[in-house]
DNA sequence: GTCTATAAGTAGATAGAC
DNA sequence: GTCTATCTACTTATAGAC
């Protein structure tokens, strides 16, 4: 593994586990067992590392988003698809832990992030349209934008929201809970099947917690 | 106005407008036209100022929350009550702009914040109960917790969510939009009146934007 | 590519005069 | 209460040897 890749790999671990703000360039070089000078040879600074990590995240997320085209046609598909998105976000969770700071500090990155969020929103919107076409959902058109916004909000701030609670969940449990939370947003639009689907989801959710 | 109060007042303005992270102790003293030494005479540092500001926010918010007891018995009441909460948050919006950082940096403040959020959640839950008792809402009990979480998420992250958009709204418009967003969360549970209420809300919302 | 050593810059904090 | 001056601590960034 090349030093450049090792830097990205270890930085991601440190950022995710300890928080991005807490890690200095020297901390990262220590964790790698290399000198700060060497780190600077590969990356001009911490911001360059972060940009490198965002490159990976952006690429992977765009692949996931584009992979949904016409493939999510049932409530179960939707459940699985949410899982995939949330797991990708979890892999790069330090970005989402304090979005505000990062966007303030790196304006160029802020634009790329906003653009990615916009594509995410479009994808969610399309998925809802597909589910409506497949008659899995019946949504008042006037509520579509609001519902999309609400789903986006949950998909973007679930990690920060969890840190508001005293007893934080581990990753897998939190992802599961969040999928459930998002699915519940569309339960009222599932018509007759809504309550059944809800019961199955709750059973599934409760079972996974034991 | 005493220097101590002027410090709190000007700091709040600076934090809200320019961001908390961007302001150093020296910046604040410059804005006040006093020396850094004098600032340190009144507050041991920026964290002491932030604590002082949180004291005010916490006190005001708890009064608002406790003021709701049994007083929110209609959809219209709920609309107004959301307004009051959102406006209070907006006054101290720098806390919500990057919650993650603040909670990391000041663990004691994090506990107080979590406790306040918990009381907020209880209040929202009680209000929903009251609305159900008043037969303004009809909610499946299994969805109550999820709905409460969803409302809390919106009330906590609306400011950060707005900064994800390219064209940010001004304060009044954003508050209005957010009230609308939260109200739409309960539209599916209004029964027969839901669609009527939605139409009225949309009319009201559109009218306010022109 | 990698190291050591060090410069340069910044924020936080205090001492002592007025 | 308020000031000036200074000190400490920490982080980023670079220079030059190996």
Inside any domain, residue A24:
yes
More confident residue, B207 or A82: A82
The predicted structure's pLDDT at residue B128? 98
CB atoms inside a 10 Å sphere around CB B2? 8
The predicted structure's pLDDT at residue B98? 87
The predicted structure's pLDDT at residue A82? 97
Tell me how far apart the alpha carbons of residues A144 and A51 are, in angstroms, rounded to a whole number.
34
Inside any domain, residue A141:
yes
Residues 6 or more apart from A146 whose CB is under 8 A from it? B180, B181, B184
Same structural domain, B90 and B186: yes
Q: What is the pLDDT of residues A73-131, one digit of tens each?
A: 999 999 999 999 999 999 999 999 989 889 989 999 999 999 999 999 999 999 999 99
The predicted structure's pLDDT at residue B198? 86
The predicted structure's pLDDT at residue B195? 81
Inside any domain, residue A136:
yes
Q: Does A209 touch chain B (CB under 8 A)?
A: no
**Alpha-carbon gap: B144 to the closest alpha carbon of chain A (Å):** 11
Q: Tell me the two tokens of residue B109.
A: 């403040």
Q: Does B116 touch chain A (CB under 8 A)?
A: no
pLDDT greater than 80 at residue B50: yes
Q: How far, in Å, are A44, A157, B61, B117, B188 from residue B123 at the CA level?
A: 49, 22, 11, 10, 21
| Mean pLDDT along residues B88-92 | 98
Residues 6 or more apart from B64 whose CB is under 8 A from it? B84, B85, B88
Same structural domain, B112 and B197: yes
Protein CA at A38 to nucleotide C1' at C5, angstroms:
14
Protein CA at A41 to nucleotide C1' at D16, angstroms:
14
pLDDT greater than 80 at residue A209: no
Tell me how far apart the alpha carbons of residues A45 and B160 are, in angstroms, rounded to a whole number.
27
Tell me how far apart the alpha carbons of residues B31 and B1 are, in angstroms, rounded to a whole number.
16
In chain B, which residue's Cα lies nearest the Cα of A21? Answer: B101
Inside any domain, residue B30:
yes
CB within 8 Å: A101 and B101: yes
Q: Does B103 touch chain A (CB under 8 A)?
A: yes
pLDDT greater than 90 at residue A161: yes
The predicted structure's pLDDT at residue B207? 85
Average pLDDT, chain A: 95
CB atoms inside a 10 Å sphere around CB A6? 15
Which member of B97, B149, B198 has the closest CB to residue A142? Answer: B198
Same structural domain, A31 and A84: no
Same structural domain, A102 and A201: yes
Q: Which residues in chain B are contacts of A113 at CB distance < 8 A?
A: 164
In chain A, which residue's Cα lies nearest the Cα of B146? Answer: A181
Q: Tell me the two tokens of residue B111.
A: 């506990």
Q: Tell which residue, A64, A82, A62, has the closest CA to residue A128.
A: A82
pLDDT band at A194 (very low <50, low <70, confident <90, very high): confident
Q: What is the pLDDT of residues B131-166, one digit of tens each?
A: 999 999 999 999 999 999 999 999 999 999 999 998
A148 within 8 A of A175, measured Cβ to Cβ = no
pLDDT greater than 80 at residue B210: no
Q: Tell me the two tokens of residue A107.
A: 């304006």
Rg of chain B over CA atoms, in angstroms?
19
CB within 8 Å: A150 and B146: no
What is the extent of the structural domain holding B59?
54-208
Inside any domain, residue A49:
no
In chain B, which residue's Cα lies nearest the Cα of A152? Answer: B161
**Residue A2: which CATH number?**
1.10.10.60
Same structural domain, B33 and B80: no
Same structural domain, B33 and B84: no
Same structural domain, B135 and B115: yes
Burial B105-136 (b: 16+ CB within 10 A, else e): bbeebbeebeebbeebbebbbbbbebbeeeeb
The predicted structure's pLDDT at residue B19? 93
Inside any domain, residue B49:
no
Protein CA at B107 to nucleotide C1' at C10, angstroms:
25
Same structural domain, A145 and A175: yes
The predicted structure's pLDDT at residue A59? 98
CB atoms inside a 10 Å sphere around CB A139? 17
Same structural domain, A22 and A109: no
Same structural domain, B134 and B192: yes
pLDDT band at A198 (very low <50, low <70, confident <90, very high): confident
Same structural domain, A158 and A59: yes
Q: Tell which residue, B185, B107, B195, B80, has the closest CA to residue A154.
A: B185
CB within 8 Å: A21 and B101: yes
| Mean pLDDT along residues A63-79 | 96
Same structural domain, B108 and B35: no
A111 within 8 A of A58, measured Cβ to Cβ = no
pTM score, two decimals?
0.96
Q: How many domains does chain B have?
A: 2
Q: Tell which residue, A161, A200, A28, has the closest CA to residue B149.
A: A161
| Mean pLDDT along residues A135-152 | 96
Largest CA distance in chain A: 64
The predicted structure's pLDDT at residue A73? 95
Average pLDDT, chain B: 95
């Amino acid at each position: 593994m090349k030093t450049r890749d090792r830097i990205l790999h270890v930085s991601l671990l440190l950022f995710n586990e300890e928080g991005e703000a807490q890690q200095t360039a020297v901390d990262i070089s220590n964790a790698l067992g290399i000198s700060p000078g060497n780190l600077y040879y590969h990356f001009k600074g911490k911001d360059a590392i972060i940009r490198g990590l965002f490159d990976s995240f952006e690429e992977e997320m765009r692949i996931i988003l584009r992979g949904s085209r016409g493939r999510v046609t049932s409530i179960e598909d939707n459940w699985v698809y949410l899982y995939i998105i949330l797991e990708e976000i979890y892999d790069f969770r330090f970005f989402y832990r304090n979005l505000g700071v990062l966007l303030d500090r790196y304006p160029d990155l802020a634009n790329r992030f906003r653009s990615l969020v916009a594509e995410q929103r479009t994808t969610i919107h399309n998925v809802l349209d597909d589910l409506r076409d497949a008659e899995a959902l019946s949504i008042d058109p006037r509520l579509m934008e609001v519902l999309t916004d609400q789903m986006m909000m949950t998909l973007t701030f679930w990690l920060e929201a969890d840190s508001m609670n005293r007893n934080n969940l581990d990753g897998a449990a939190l992802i599961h809970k969040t999928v459930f939370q998002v699915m519940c947003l569309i339960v009222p639009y599932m018509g007759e099947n809504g309550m059944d689907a809800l019961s199955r989801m709750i059973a599934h959710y409760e079972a996974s917690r034991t």
